Structure 1
Amino acid sequence: MIRHCVFIRFRPEILADEKVSIFAEIAALKSRLAGMLATYEGTNVSPEVGMDKGYSEGFIVDFADAAARDAYLADPEHQKTGAKIVAAAEGGIDGIFVYDLEIPG
């Protein structure tokens, strides 16, 4: 399994409704893409002050395997939502941190 973690530093003027809409678009891809197992989104709740480096919100997507993750990355709807994330992030792409983990099955 691949756990795809995306953390975002949203620009201060981005409203909660826009964030909810972006996260909903990511979750909606699950119904279209084989191997997309689950999505999770939310704000950082860690008590370790400052450790988030400003990446206070994000989402995680679990995929059956790397092929499913790669299909998601290439999907046109994902790419449209990804462009919205870049536009909403502080500093564009610099305001986004992506980290994928392989979870042994």
Structure 2
Amino acid sequence: MIRHCVFIRFRPEVSEAEKATIFAEISALKERLSGFLAIHVGANISPEAGMDKGYAEGFIVDFADAEARDAYLGDPEHQKTGRKIVAATDGGVQGVFVYDLEIPD
């Protein structure tokens, strides 16, 4: 399994409605993409002040395998939403932190 972690540093003026739309678009991909197992969306709730480096919100997607993750990355709807995410962040692509983990069976 691949756990795809995406942490976002939104610009302060980005509304909660815009964030919700972005997260809903990512979540909707689960219905169409094979191997997209689960998605978790939310704000950082860690008590360790400052450790998030401003990446205060994000999502985690679990994929069956690397092929499913790669299909998601290449999906046109994912790419469209990815462009929205980058446009909404503080610093463009620098406002997005992506980290993938391989989870052993």
Q: How does 1:1-105 map to 2 (within 5 A)?
A: 1-105=1-105
Q: Tell me, which stretches of 5 or more residues in structure 2 are unaligned?
A: none
Q: How far 1:54 moved relative to its partner? A: 0.4
CA distance in 2, matches of 1:86, 1:50: 22
CA distance in 2, matches of 1:2, 1:90: 27
Amino acid at match of 2:36: M
Q: Secondary structure at the match of 2:85?
A: helix
Q: Tell me, which stretches of 5 or more residues in structure 1 are unaligned?
A: none
TM-score (norm. length: structure 2): 0.99
Aligned positions, number: 105
Runs of 4+ more than 4 Å apart: none
CA distance in 2, matches of 1:89, 1:63: 25
Identical pairs, percent: 75
CA distance in 2, matches of 1:59, 1:18: 15
Structure 1, residues 5-61: CA drift from partner, whole Å, max 9, x if none? 000000000000000000000000000000000001000000000100000000000
CA distance in 1, matches of 2:18, 2:42: 13
